[in-house]
A and B are shown apart, each in its own frame.
Chain A
Amino acid sequence: MGTYLAIRARGISKYFGDVVALDGIDLDVAQGQIHGLVGPNGAGKTTLLGLLLGLSVADGGSLEILGTPVGRALAAPDGVAGFVDGPGLYPSLTASQNLAALAALRGIDKRTAGIGDVLDQVGLTDVADDRVRGFSLGMRQRLGLAAALLTKPRLLVLDEPANGLDPAGKKHVHRVLTRLAADGTSVVLSSHRMDDVEALCSEVTIVATGRVVFSGPLGKLAAENSELDYRLLTSDPRAARATAVETAGLRLVDAVEAGTRQDEDLLVVRAKVPALDDLVSRLVHAGIAVRELAPVVSPLEAAFLALTEQQQEADR
């Protein structure tokens, strides 16, 4: 079976009066792929997700969702579910009632809709009969995801799905999304949490001021990136510092400048991956134990910051 595109967008434009929200966006999302959409506030992410959900219509370009061209009418395409700007839930109804209402609206028999199953998937079984009025933000997010799952979508569009989630909730959501993707459902999610994007997404699209500044696999993004700052914690900080100074292509950076905590045992080094590999090798050779070596910011976050700043400077 050939790989088909769940989303194929070409030259999508959207205007709000004089404001250009989307300016010639191209986007491809394959079947079974979890695709991250990142960008600074006001970049046009929510507008783009709204187009995918049929909440608004593009002013220019072409958009195909699940192989079907999207028309001019406001309507969510078949097989698409999700939410933008948080899930829309009715506070006077219980979690089960919200899902039962949605099932009824979509023509699904609530007895066979699997309401209990989707609540279990997102870890809300215990509060199934509680009114949504008393739910925390994280519980609402999870119930919104359950509502989307209820319709058995082939394309799931989620705006900040990890917003307000505690570690347990995040684990539930990650497990659900990866399982869906494994079953062939495509997922597009926007997030400001780069760790979530890195953990879930195989590809990412970075949007700034309504334009795509990068789209492709995460590995490619990391490879395109230049030097990164790394935190280094060793068994002998003094010897490690001397070794770092001697290593070519690497320099020590002040912790405050790098934006990380200050600690006299902690070194912050700025380097590309080959130089870092060289440093680790030298430390090990000198009998210095490496206790921690981690980027101060993730490669994705660094790339995100670099690319969006470049775009904003170009716009200026």
Chain B
Amino acid sequence: MSATIAADDNVAAEHVVPAARVPVSRGYRFEVVKLVSQWRIRLLVLACWIAPALFVAAVSQQSTLPTDTLFGRWMHATGWAGPLVVLGFAGTWALPLLTSVVAGDVFAAEDRLGTWRHLLVAVRSPRRIFVAKALASLTVIVVMVVGLTASGVVGGLLAVGNHPLVGLDGHLLSSGDAAGKVLLAWACALAPTLALAGIGLLGSVALGRSPMGLLLPALVAIAMQLAQMLPLPVALRAALPGYAFISWNGLFASPEQLRPLVIGIVVSLVWAVLATVLAYLIFMRRDFTNLSYDGSGRRALVVGALPLAGLLAATFAVVAVATPSMGSGIDQAKVQRSVATAFAHLYRMQTDELNRPAVTEAQLKVSAACDKGDGRSDPHGAGNDWHCIVTWHLPGVETTGQAIYQLDVSSNGRYVADGDGPKEVNGYFLVHTSTGDAPNPMWQFDGNVDLLSATPKG
């Protein structure tokens, strides 16, 4: 037995000077330093601040534009199209991967390096460690998103210039409006990015050194993109946290399609909060004595995945009740209205570019008759077999004009309208614009169907 005897414990108590609690701000600075000291994080931040500018500037100088990407066909016309093309790419690939590398690794890195014990002894509060890590990863992700935005804008404006932008229904946005909407669209994309970051934190905490933790945000993002392409009820797709990566399109219609956007943002933020809270709960219950921690298996499933599945079910139910959206959200009336609106705006633009007498949308009285497939089935849903006959009137002319378009409608409501005659109206020819020669704006154009709106009557 020990030979030492506790003679006076009060003496010990006199020696003990309680150490000050480490403020979260100190832990936060340390976490930021650790993240930024990693070469891959430095390179990614640098790429976010440089690559979009180079991409936009380079593509804007090419004769062939990425017309299969939303706003890609307008990259010669205005510098504001570039950052939107970057946003489309970022929502699909860049942001899920960035959140994987940052948030998906911020806890797992300590497992890999075997530094949990050191950190716990230093900070002496798992709660503060969690908060500091979550805030640090959030900071780096926001810096990356801001970099993607700023770089795309600067690249576009320097390469092409500050010109008006054609919206998704053909109406012309002034430079100022375009600037505001581009920045707002990027701000909206932060919400689903935060949701993925929350999922990344959850994966990093729950799965430890397992590579699955790092990959979780990217895998969830891919799964959500697949879900958006499937013929699922639109209420279910709107209940997914990645929906806001798509619904920012509604900002570029007139009137703005705000309902899908607001739903997408709210759903994303709720996912971000819930996933972060679940990560916190798992982290606080973790046993730090096991250095070869590779996740808590069943607990990760029960505490992590099941509540998120419950959230998805609850959100689906709420959206389904609040909006008439159990189908695809794409029907004949919506397509006809969207095509007629876009045609009217673009006709007016074409008239101006061809130096013809000015007309207004009201004078044109455009209508569209759209059908799908062979015309015998109920026309609704996505597909590349939509076709529309557009009819319009010119002031002082008794006969009506008609033009045909073939439409490729995606399940997320975006469509590409391809002019099918007459070629004087919607064929391929060059027109003179303030920024140089450009293809006839009515030859091919992008449009958007509001999936969550009620079908117009009559």
User: A: which residues have CB within 8 A of B?
Assistant: 1-6, 8, 16, 26-31, 33, 46-47, 50, 53-56, 64, 66-68, 74-76, 78-93, 97, 101-102, 104-107, 144, 147, 154, 203, 205, 215-217, 220
Contacts and interface: CB of A to CB of B under 8 A. Distances in A.
Taking each of B30, B118, B291, which has the highest tally of chain A beta carbons within 10 Å of its own beta carbon? B118
Contacts of A97: 33, 37
A26 B2 CA distance: 9
A53 B117 CA distance: 9
Nearest to A1: B11
Interface stretch (B17-25, B160-168, B303-311, B435-443): B17-25
Contacts of A88: 110, 113-119
A88 B11 CA distance: 33
Interface stretch (B121-129, B196-204, B426-434): B121-129
B125 A85 contact: no
Given A4-B7, A56-B288, A88-B113, 13 more contacts: A3-B5, A4-B6, A28-B4, A30-B4, A56-B287, A66-B12, A75-B120, A78-B19, A79-B16, A80-B121, A88-B114, A88-B115, A106-B19
A120 B402 CA distance: 88
Given A56-B287, A105-B26, A107-B26, A203 B4 contact: yes
B121 A54 contact: yes
Nearest to A154: B15
Contacts of B355: none
A267 B17 CA distance: 57
A1 B288 CA distance: 38
21 contacts: A2-B7, A3-B7, A28-B2, A28-B6, A46-B289, A50-B288, A53-B120, A54-B124, A74-B288, A79-B16, A87-B118, A88-B114, A90-B115, A92-B37, A92-B39, A93-B33, A97-B37, A104-B30, A215-B2, A216-B3, A217-B3
Contact of B120 (A3, A5, A54): A54
A66 B12 CA distance: 6
A83 B117 CA distance: 7
Contacts of A147: 118
Nearest to B30: A101
Nearest to A86: B114
Contacts of A215: 1-2
Interface in B256-298: 287-289, 291
Contacts of B9: 4-5, 8, 64, 67
B4 A91 contact: no
A79 B121 contact: no
A104 B22 CA distance: 9
B38 interface: yes
B29 interface: yes
B8 interface: yes
A3 B10 CA distance: 11
Contacts of B289: 16, 46-47, 50, 55-56
Sorted from nearest, which 9 A-B pairs have the closest CB atoms? Answer: A88-B118, A67-B12, A88-B115, A2-B7, A2-B8, A28-B2, A4-B12, A30-B4, A92-B37
Interface in B14-67: 15-20, 22-23, 26-27, 29-30, 33-34, 37-39
A109 to B, nearest CB: 12
Nearest to A46: B289
A83 to B, nearest CB: 6
B302 interface: no
B226 interface: no
B38 A4 contact: no
B13 interface: yes
B121 A67 contact: no
Contact of A75 (B4, B6, B29, B124): B124
Contacts of A105: 22, 26-27, 30, 122-123
A107 B20 contact: yes
A232 to B, nearest CB: 33
Contacts of B18: 78
A295 B423 CA distance: 105
A83 B121 contact: yes
Given A88-B119, A89-B115, A104-B29, A75 B125 contact: yes
A255 B108 CA distance: 51
B451 to A, nearest CB: 46
A33 to B, nearest CB: 7
Contacts of B115: 88-90
Taking each of B16, B27, B126, which has the highest tally of chain A beta carbons within 10 Å of its own beta carbon? B16
A33 B114 contact: no
B118 A203 contact: no
Contacts of A4: 6-9, 11-12, 15
Contacts of A205: 2
B291 A85 contact: yes
A139 B289 CA distance: 24
Given A74-B126, A78-B19, A154-B15, A90 B120 contact: no
A67 B16 contact: yes
Contacts of A89: 113, 115, 118
A184 to B, nearest CB: 9
B15 A78 contact: no
A5 B19 contact: no
A27 B3 CA distance: 11
Contacts of B114: 85-86, 88
Contacts of A80: 121
A286 B434 CA distance: 118
Contacts of B30: 101, 104-105
B124 A76 contact: yes
A190 B44 CA distance: 43
B4 A3 contact: yes
B37 to A, nearest CB: 4
B13 A67 contact: yes
B121 to A, nearest CB: 4
Nearest to A53: B121
Contacts of A53: 117, 120-121
Contact of A68 (B11, B16, B29, B119): B16
A5 B5 CA distance: 7
B30 to A, nearest CB: 5
A68 B9 CA distance: 9
Interface string B58-91: 0000000000000000000000000000000000
A219 B15 CA distance: 30
